[in-house]
Structure 1
Amino acid sequence: MTTPLNVALIGYGYVGKVFHAPLLSHTPGFHLHTVVSRDAGKVHADLPHMRVVADAQQAFADPAIDLVVIASPNDSHASLALAALDHGKHVVVDKPFTVTVAEAESVIARARDRGRLVSVFQNRRWDADFLTVQQLVRDDVLGDIAELHSHFDRYRPQVQSRWRESAAAGAGLWFDLGPHLLDQAVQLFGMPLALQVDLALQRQDAQAPDYFHAQLRYRRCRVHLHAGSLVAANGLRFAVHGQRGSYQKHGLDGQEQALRAGTQPGEMGWGEDSESGRLELVDGEGHVSVQTLPSQPGDYRRYYQAMHAAMVDGTPPPVSAEQALALMRLIALGERSNAERRELTVA
């Protein structure tokens, strides 16, 4: 039997607690060895026997640790990743990779110098509805795609006292949900020719963008990415329109909700989408057929399964450093587009 790879998880806030800890604990080949947190009681309430240390450097210096997973506030990602790499660890960083392109470049250069892997946790590549859209595009079911609308809307009228909604670098929806929606679009269609982004602070007392709308321009296709915090009727997730028809899907992938409720990855029904999509196709004579299309099963563990294979077998990581850097450049270009109020060409 192969010895499991030991993981140190940096941060036990929402992302560390809800996503990384349970996914790592239920992915064969990984052993969650250490959690870095200043609140050991919070960790032990969920993981009674877990080793908890308050200082990340203590985890980095531990020769037993093979992989460091960084789930701390965004503005600390780069410094923690650099320190972990300097201690010879492979690194997974929760999205966004870093706050600036320069930081991303420095982390990638350090990983190359140290001969270590660095990857970004883009779990929503394994959303049930996105996998379904990806298959429809891959199989050319809708023909040439003219429009894709991707929404991740919420109704959260009250600004919460947390770093994600603060004025800190890397806070706000563009850095929170933007990386997910941009990454999915690039996975479907590649890098766009140009993009235009509108960011706004819409809620009273908002300190960071709580709204964005981005248009990605391709040769023929237009991709619209949208997230808002004051959308009470927030059902639409995807609408895809092509020469042969359309696909629409309402409701979010249920894995995050299941994890929040304490469901363990792999339990009965894990990754199944309770809401099916609607596929409407038009034949050459103009006849319309409508069918309910169940989503493919999703599974966020597939990210860590691929990461394990990359570390052990040398296969490509689930999200490469090059993909992570390209996405950071899109995020930065989006900020510039918003500041200049115009469409910008993607280099």
Structure 2
Amino acid sequence: MSNNTTIDLVKTPSLILDEERMSNNISGLLSRIEAQSVTFRPHMKTAKCVEVARRVMTSPRGPITVSTLKEAEQFADAGVRDILYAVGIAPNKLDAVLALRAKGVDLSILVDSIAQAEAVAAKARLEGDPIPVLIEIDADGYRGGVPADETETVLAVGRALHEGGAELRGILTYSGATYECREVDEIRAVAERERRAATRSAELLRNAGLPCPIVSVGSTPTALFSRDFTGVTEVRAGVFAFFDLVMAGLGVCSVDDIALSVLATVIGHQHDGRRILVDAGWMAMSRDLGTAGQRVSQGYGVVCDLDGEIIPDLIMSGASQEHGILSLRPDSRRALPDLPIGTLVRILPNHACATAAQHHRYNVVSKGSREVTAVWDRFSGW
């Protein structure tokens, strides 16, 4: 949807998306993935937006990854046909999965237990639809998945699917340990551990006579810094299109690469002369303090001027529901900038997924321009 306005006329708080930065981020990762001769399956959980998906997908029909069935439904309505729902399946969601598949969507799902596998296989037999399934492998103890060293469980899950009536489509891993890394070399080590866990599990299945056509790995950090994709068939990544302060703190991107910000208005000044109030609290920014454990804590976000240029040492240091508190970093020797009531600022988020989830649309701009060139709807819910 086009929009004839400028950023200074947008109501606050609102979500601003720098299309030029986003395009650069996308082309950078796509070029790297293409050079590795593997399939790219972008994760749309961050964007939740058809217009962004069209710029990230390698074809109008996909493939993509989603984190909710609502996403799957929305992207299916937009013509996407190859979708992976990459959250462990709950049996009560299988009817929704089958409904999408009945519409011609090649929707695959994820399991990491024998109980899930048996439930999916039973539903597949009952409905006469060999639901395609990937087994999630836990490479680092971060979240879900069958532990990579529990080979008998991996085989049991595989057999329950393959022999029970579902389609065993492959293996998937996700290494959340990258978020605890402090150096790029540490990310590379995590990426290699992820790859080995996936490929060894795939080999285990194949040696047992079970199919495993897909070996899926990835997150934004490992997709960008893995040195070896041997044995991998597809890579997933999501936040790379926008980036955020957590990614910058990991060394995955620079702060200048961050394409997402929240537009806010100065609404007051606290009497101690050291804090500025804006109309974007945690309802606009989220409560995510993901940089708190990194070398540099960014509070709730880094403050920029209306054109997206960083205001030195100014961060959102506190937040209540609808109030954001801006102040200088504790070690700063600068004077608090003069930001009169009514001044517009843009705040870079810690976690793009969480901040975007607070908003219903993107106001699209280009770097260095105040023109809003488009307004793109985003969706939420499950």
Same fold (TM over 0.5): no
Say which one has the larger Rg. 2
Taking structure 2 as the reference length, what is the TM-score of the superposition?
A: 0.30
Comparing both chains, which one has the higher relative contact order based on Cα–Cα distances under 8 Å and sequence gaps of 6 or more?
2
